[in-house]
Structure 1
């Protein structure tokens, strides 16, 4: 069905795209909105009919090597804002992001990347329909897994960080995809662009989240949706239940040195950020211009007396408003950036925090983890533009640090 939709869309837009190409044949977006599956992308196209909304149907550009399911970049007529759907899960997201970076028809040097998608939510932090903007994304799937029926007596979970012998170990094998940190000052500037009165809600979502009122610490999950600052845990394995949720919340806390606050589940955020770090090393993108937005479609654990399976298969009543709020957040941010381009965003929003990956390859010293492969200087890649200073310390590429 999605292939049919994309093919029909392509035919419908080909004439418009031909008429709307930029004068030099390149598109230089101020904002690149990234979505991950069909409904997340389609809401932007459907809402393009809304009065005053950005029209992402005006240009259609095929991106070589992008997902065969979603091969087209959708842009406004002036090319200021573009929309790309990567395909679900980490492999798809990384491959499509790399395809965007490699496309010679795109100038991404000043582009703001706004990742927008739905995810699960922790009821002690957020509720159904909530819009979250993250500073950290943590790859909790980087684990050994033990079957719950065979756990050692002292283990509360079967997920153990790779290279360690304890579920509560902070670091073991470091692959440099465990944690990414983005610009918190940018996050703060973008979050105020979202009008709280526009955040979608529904009677069905309100009725479902009322089940969480009986637990005082789940008061956030029983409340109406709002805009929050908190962080995402990513994995291609979907999980449900209090034990796993608490396990991954501890992982986020440990791997961000106590700074990150877990509130949403996601699959693809770290995958896109990993590709963007490589793009930044080639001076293709500015990693200080990245924002992570997730809206909550379901809870990561059941309400009292609900089974984990019921929560998993029947708990997605927040999905319609989460999809709606993907557009509310992403379109509001895109319009805000474009509207204040000259006075604020063209020059960039200076970061007050560390921005980058575990190893610090973009320069600076990570405020988490055991990385620091280049003594605070950007890593030098042979032939890369604008790169200077240190090489990677090869001995730390697969460090095994026991704590």
Structure 2
């Protein structure tokens, strides 16, 4: 958590580094919005966070002042691709997306939105440096009891609000539907997700001896010791920065329960459900198209400790390669889709690609 707040402070400081460009009266018809959640320092030229590789490699050289957010909007000279830094956690991410969607300077009605951030990865599903396209984004509205006070047969102390125990919706607000009381699960456009995965599944990702050595601590999970790859796996968002075996099992069970056993927990993060919720509302307001939302998360660390170590000792450890393999994967994979969509706009402007296999 200390690391998270340090980054957030640098984001706010960095946003004053460059002057914003003057803005034309006519709204820009944006083709792709790249959604990042933080940047460590400057937008270019130093140690990268989620934004920097996009800024440098996509030539996002113009800054547009964005009072509704935490950082200037970056754009390419053609004004077809923009990038936003939402700020970390749900409380920042949702309002930032709403502010952008309501900003009259941008026409986002046909834009594709690509969430491209790092995440904690379940070692049962993927290895550090891997990338996962989500089909579901799942939220964490729940009740919680300290593990020391739960019945002995409970696997953990977190359960659906109103439910009788973990692992069931019986008695909960969601008993008659996963979003009956409030949104818990956001099914994304499965066809678009599959299309994006098909186009990127062979992208070469970083794979260094240091990454291999790092993952040996999770050798009991075959997926963790494999070379990084591009998969389909789902996003679980929480404002609680959690870590450990019990909470990891809770995340696996939670995603499975709320997606009718169709989803697979792959990535933990602190923003995606708020982003998805904002997109749903912008869609209802005819400001954006929820069916054009894509979530790509890349593995910077694992959601539970390596064998033989305690969760409280590893929760705040530095990421493998200081996160660079995950930042690289986000751009290498995400840019393939961005270039296809923006570069062939006559094909995709009025036709969302993909089909459910």
C-alpha contact 1:29 1:108 (8 A) present in aligned 2: yes
Q: State which drifts further: 179-188 or 84-93.
A: 179-188
Say whether 1:121 aligns with 2:121.
yes
Equivalent residue, structure 2, for 1:157: 156
Alignment of 1:88 with 2:97, yes or no, is no
Q: State the partner residue of 2:335.
A: 331
Deviates more, 1:106-115 or 1:325-334: 325-334
What does residue 196 of structure 2 align with?
190
- 1:228 matched residue in structure 2: 231
Structure 1 gap ranges (5+):
354-403
Is the contact made by 1:288 and 1:351 (CA closer than 8 Å) also made in structure 2?
no
User: What is the CA–CA distance in structure 1 between the aligned matches of 2:55 and 2:297, rounded to whole Å?
Assistant: 23
Aligned-pair Cα RMSD in Å = 2.2
Q: Which residue of 1 aligns with 2:5?
A: none
Cα distance in 2 for partners of 1:332, 1:163 equals 44
- Normalised to the residue count of structure 2, the TM-score between the two structures is 0.87
- 2:53–2:328 contact (8 Å) kept in structure 1: no
Instruction: Provide the residue aligned with 2:102 in structure 1.
Output: 102
Alignment-derived partner of residue 360 in structure 1: none
Counterpart of 1:78 in structure 2 is 78
Look at both structures and tell me which one has the larger radius of gyration over its CA atoms. Answer: 1
The change in CA–CA distance for 1:41 and 1:325 in structure 2 (over 3 A counts) is: farther
Q: 1:290 aligns with which of 290, 293, 298?
A: 293
Q: Residues 49 and 135 of structure 1: is their aligned pair in 2 closer, same or farther, counting only changes over 3 Å?
A: closer
* 2: CA distance, partners of 1:65 / 1:200: 35
C-alpha distance in structure 2 between counterparts of 1:239 and 1:40, whole Å = 25
Match of 2:345 in 1: 341
- Give the 3-state SS of the residue equivalent to 2:15 in structure 1: helix
Unaligned stretches of 5+ in structure 2? 1-9, 174-179
User: In the comparison of the two structures, how many residue pairs are matched?
Assistant: 335
What is the DSSP-based 3-state SS (H/G/I as helix, E as strand, rest coil) of the residue aligned with 2:316? helix
- Indicate whether 1:219 and 2:225 are aligned: no
CA distance in structure 2 between the aligned counterparts of 1:190 and 1:142, rounded to whole angstroms:
29
Superposed CA offset, 1:254-275 (max 9, x none): 1000100111101100101101
Structure 1 length normalisation: TM-score? 0.78
Whether 1:273 and 2:276 are equivalent positions in the alignment is yes
Deviations 1:62-92 (A, max 9, x none): 234223xx1x111111111100001000010
Residue 244 of structure 1 and its aligned partner are, at CA, apart by 1.2
Contact 1:119 1:297 in 2 (8 A): yes
